[in-house]
Amino acid sequence: MKKVLFATALVAILAFGFAGVAKADSTGTLTLADCGGGQTGCPAAIYDFTIGANSATLTITITGAVDATNNLISGVNLGTDGLNLSNLNVSGPGAGVVWTAAMGSVNSSNNCGNGGGSFMCASASPGVTIVQNGVYVWTWTWTNSITPPTDGIHIGANYDPHSGFIVSQVVGGGTSAPEPASLTLLGLGLLGVPFLRRKK
């Protein structure tokens, strides 16, 4: 009994000593049948995102039909008010397509030119050609460490060549993935369960 308690205490001390500041990723999903907000023209798609301390990913899965007016994505953005990212870089889909990172949000005439620097953005001209059931991924990285936001994440996408097919939606209630420190505490709690039995 004493050995088990000693081992549990030792594990707890080590966990708190090495855990440091836990920063969980913020994740979420948005499914749209069109551009959202009653706006038409965009193909149906699923937008999945993850924002961590030093990187973020936006994945767009095209589930609806595309046509000659909306078969390009020329810009995307992801984020929330108050982001402060240093040395922002981005990689994106499309062979030979060069994506440029900036702080801002997409619009129909000047990609990444809006938003007052609140969002991480990526733009390319003319963009990446999309097809139904295609999956397209953008990954941003930066050098400073941020606390990932947990809700109110803005997702933007610019569908070209038609000017004006824009997705601009806020996803509330993003979920946080369990970080190592939380998992360690859960494990310690489970170790103590056998000792809660009543003695007869």
Q: Between these two residues, 154 and 179, which has the higher pLDDT value? A: 154
Residue span of the structural domain in which 139 resides: 25-148+157-170
CB proximity list for 102: less than 8 A, separation 6 or greater: 88, 112, 121, 122, 123
Query: Cα–Cα distance between 13 and 107 in angstroms, integer?
Result: 51
Q: Does 18 map to a domain?
A: no
pLDDT tens-place string over residues 62-96 = 999 999 999 999 999 999 877 889 999 999 999 99
For the question of whether the overall pTM of this predicted structure is more than 0.85, the answer is no
Q: Is residue 104 part of a domain?
A: yes
Number of domains in the chain: 1
pLDDT-derived band at 179 (thresholds 50, 70, 90) equals very low
- Looking at the predicted structure, is the pLDDT value of residue 168 above 70? yes
Model confidence at 3, pLDDT cuts 50, 70, 90, reads low
Q: What is the mean pLDDT of residues 90-103?
A: 96
In-domain check, residue 199? no
Q: Is 175 contained in some domain?
A: no
